[in-house]
C-alpha cells in the first residue's frame, strides 16, 4: 500500500488506460499532462497509430494536448496487453452497450478484467470508469482480482469512478468536472484518490463502489425521464394546438421549482439512451419494475417513428406521398456540434423513411461518412441547394446550419429542434414536433 501510494503521489507510477475513445483519450491527455508515464491500450490499431503520432481523433481533445507528451516519451499507445504487466494503475474505459433485448452487454468489461487478471501483480490499482449497473465492481472485479489469495486493500486496490464526459461542452472538461469516486475498501479509496488528485480539480468520495455506480445512473436516468416527459408534452401540445417550445420557454422564466428540458427526435449518444436500462435490468433481477425508466424509454424510443409520421403528414398536406419523395436529413450526429452519431435518432429516421419508399440523403458538416448495417453513406456538401428536396428534416441543429438559406430555399421543413423559431419567412411550410 505504502509503495503504491508513494508512486502515485510522486508521479513515478505507470498508468495504463484501457480504451482510448471518447472517455479514455481525454483521460490519457490529463494523466500525461500531470507528468505520469501513460499508455493507452486499445484493440483499434488506427487509434493506436494516431495517438503514437501525437494526433487527436476526437474533437474535444486538441492535438496540442497530446503531441508534446508523445514527443517527451510520457505518452504512448499499444494494442499489446503485455503492457498491463508493467502497470502500477489501470483505468478501464471500455464501452458498455446493450444487446438486442436491451439487456447489459458486459463483454468488453469482462474481457478487459480478464486481461488485467492475466498480467496482475501485487500492488496494482484498478479503476473502472465504464458506466454499468450497481454491483458490477464488487460482483465482477473484486472476485476476479482477489483470486489466488490476493487481499483487497493490501495486494490489489479496486475502485469505481463514473465517467462524466460531455462531448462538445466547451466549459466542463475532464479536469474541471467533479469526480465521484468509490473504493472497494477505505484503502482502495485512498489509493485511487492519490492518483486522481493529480489530474482533477475536485474529487467527491462516496462510501462504496455501488454508490458511485448508482450516481452515474441517477444522473442519466434523471435526464432520460425528463426528456421523455417533454417529448410526451410535445405530442400533447400538437393535439392541443400549442407550441411546446413556447410553453417550455415561458415555464423556464419561473426562478424556482422548474428546470427546462426540450423535446427532440429521440435520444442519442452512448449514455442517456443506455444507462437507465442498466439500472432497470438490475432491478428486474431483484423482482422490481423500474416503471419511470421503462415508460421514458418507450416514449423516447418512439420519437423517430413520430418524426416520420410528422414528415408524412407534412408531405401529405402538400399533396406529396412519402414514397418517391426526396428527403434530406440535416444532422446525423446525436447532438449539436459533435461528430458522434452513436445511437443517433437520425439512423432510425432514415431507416423508417426508406422503408416507406423515400429517397433519403443526409447533410452533416461533422459526419462526412455514415456507416450503419453494412451501408455507407456520404454527406452532401453544405452548399447543396435545399430546394431540390421535397422535404428537409432537421434532426440535429448544428450551429453552422445556414438557417436563413434553409428557410428560404426549402419547399417543406420538419423542424424537430425548434431551430427556425427566430427566422422570418413562410411559416406554413415549417412543421414542428
Please tell me whether residue 410 adopts helix, strand or coil conformation.
coil
C-alpha cell of 313? 403528414
Edge to edge, what strands does the sheet with 156-160 contain? 75-78, 37-41, 14-18, 89-92, 124-128, 156-160, 179-183, 203-206
- Does residue 271 have an active-site annotation? yes
Residues 247 and 255: their CA atoms lie apart, in Å, by 15
Phi then psi for 192, rounded to 5 degrees? Answer: -65, -35
The dihedral built from the CA positions of residue 330, 239, 304 and 338, taken in this order, carries a sign that is: positive
Residues 31 and 70: their CA atoms lie apart, in Å, by 12
CA atoms within 13 A on the CB side of 371: 1
Residue with cell string 479496486: 158
Residues 339 and 332: their CA atoms lie apart, in Å, by 9
326 - beta bridge partners? 359
Residue with cell string 415549417: 430
Residues 410 and 403: their CA atoms lie apart, in Å, by 10
The dihedral built from the CA positions of residue 105, 106, 109 and 113, taken in this order, carries a sign that is: negative
Q: How far is CA 124 from each of CA 91, 140, 203, rounded to the nearest angstrom? A: 11, 17, 21
Phi then psi for 414, rounded to 5 degrees? Answer: -105, 110
Residues 126 and 118: their CA atoms lie apart, in Å, by 13
**Catalytic position from the list 81, 93, 188, 271:** 271
C-alpha cell of 172? 466542463
Catalytic residues: 271
Amino acid at each position: 500500500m505504502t509503495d503504491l501510494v508513494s508512486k502515485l503521489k510522486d508521479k513515478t507510477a505507470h498508468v495504463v488506460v484501457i480504451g482510448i475513445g471518447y472517455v479514455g483519450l481525454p483521460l490519457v491527455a490529463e494523466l500525461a499532462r500531470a507528468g505520469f508515464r501513460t499508455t493507452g491500450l486499445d484493440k483499434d490499431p488506427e487509434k493506436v497509430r494516431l495517438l503514437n503520432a501525437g494526433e487527436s481523433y476526437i474533437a474535444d481533445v486538441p492535438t496540442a494536448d497530446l503531441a508534446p507528451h508523445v514527443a517527451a516519451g510520457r505518452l504512448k499507445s499499444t494494442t499489446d496487453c503485455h503492457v498491463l504487466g508493467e502497470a502500477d494503475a489501470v483505468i478501464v474505459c471500455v464501452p458498455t452497450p446493450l444487446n438486442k433485448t436491451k439487456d447489459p452487454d458486459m463483454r468488453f468489461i469482462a474481457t478487459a478484467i480478464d486481461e488485467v487478471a492475466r498480467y496482475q501483480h501485487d500492488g496494482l490499482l484498478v479503476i473502472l470508469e465504464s458506466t454499468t449497473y450497481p454491483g458490477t465492481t464488487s460482483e465482477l472485479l473484486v472476485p476476479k482480482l482477489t483470486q489466488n489469495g490476493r487481499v483487497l486493500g493490501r495486494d490489489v486496490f479496486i475502485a469505481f469512478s463514473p465517467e462524466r464526459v460531455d462531448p462538445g461542452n466547451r466549459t466542463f472538461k475532464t479536469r474541471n468536472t467533479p469526480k465521484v469516486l468509490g473504493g472497494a475498501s477505505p484503502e482502495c479509496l485512498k489509493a485511487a484518490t492519490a492518483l486522481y488528485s493529480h489530474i482533477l480539480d475536485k474529487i467527491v468520495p462516496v462510501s462504496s463502489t455501488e454508490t458511485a455506480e448508482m450516481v452515474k445512473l441517477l444522473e442519466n436516468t434523471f435526464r432520460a425521464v425528463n426528456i421523455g416527459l417533454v417529448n410526451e408534452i410535445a405530442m400533447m401540445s400538437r393535439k392541443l394546438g400549442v407550441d411546446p417550445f413556447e410553453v417550455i420557454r415561458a415555464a423556464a422564466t419561473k426562478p424556482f421549482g422548474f428546470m427546462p428540458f426540450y423535446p427532440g427526435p429521440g435520444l442519442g449518444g452512448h449514455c442517456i439512451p443506455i444507462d437507465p436500462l442498466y439500472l432497470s435490468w438490475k432491478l428486474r433481477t431483484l423482482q422490481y419494475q423500474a416503471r419511470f425508466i421503462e415508460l421514458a424509454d418507450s416514449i423516447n424510443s418512439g420519437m423517430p417513428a413520430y418524426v416520420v409520421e410528422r414528415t408524412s403528414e407534412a408531405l401529405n398536406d402538400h399533396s406529396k406521398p412519402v414514397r418517391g419523395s426526396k428527403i434530406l436529413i440535416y444532422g446525423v450526429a446525436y447532438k449539436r456540434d459533435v461528430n458522434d452519431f452513436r445511437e443517433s435518432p437520425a439512423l432510425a429516421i432514415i431507416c423508417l423513411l426508406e422503408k416507406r419508399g423515400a429517397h433519403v440523403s443526409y447533410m452533416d458538416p461533422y459526419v462526412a461518412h455514415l456507416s450503419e448495417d453494412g451501408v455507407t453513406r456520404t454527406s452532401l456538401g453544405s452548399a447543396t441547394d435545399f430546394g431540390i428536396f421535397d422535404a428537409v428534416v432537421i434532426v440535429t441543429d448544428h450551429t453552422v446550419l445556414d438557417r436563413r438559406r434553409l428557410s428560404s430555399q426549402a419547399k417543406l421543413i420538419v423542424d424537430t429542434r425548434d431551430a427556425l423559431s427566430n427566422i422570418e419567412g413562410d411559416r406554413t411550410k415549417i412543421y414542428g414536433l
